[in-house]
Amino acid sequence: MLKKRDRLSKREVETLLKKGRRLHSTLLTVAYLPAPHTKAAVVVGKKIAKKAVQRHLLRRRVFHLLERWGALYNGKHVAVLLHPDAAHATYQELEQTLTHLLEKV
């Protein structure tokens, strides 16, 4: 899990989703915007996983990947929006998809 200072606030996420650029895949969407300090957020809605336990598992997995591959999005605000297919994806599939999109950022 990223430290609180490295996570986006609700207001920052809203701004990012309105003004940022997006990259899409079958499992997730990455919204990003250049910024002086690197921050990230993960959004998992109830349409993706009905149970909170499943949503939190997905969030923890993606936050771990963001922490691991932080150099790929250095100097940007990044929000990762998960799609319904992500609920059934393995950790390796999420990692492969996320790193592929972060390399394009």
Q: Tell me the C-alpha distance between 86 and 83, whole Å.
A: 6
| 86: CATH | 3.30.230.10
| Whether the model pTM is above 0.85 | yes
Domain that holds residue 43: 4-104
Confidence of residue 2 (pLDDT cuts 50, 70, 90): confident
Q: Tell me the C-alpha distance between 84 and 62, whole Å.
A: 14
Distances (CA, A) of 4 to 25, 30, 33, 39, 57: 27, 20, 19, 9, 18
List pLDDT tens digits, range 25-38. 999 999 999 999 99
Domains identified in the chain, total number = 1
Q: Tell me the C-alpha distance between 75 and 93, whole Å.
A: 25
**47 token code pair:** 């349409």
Confidence of residue 19 (pLDDT cuts 50, 70, 90): very high
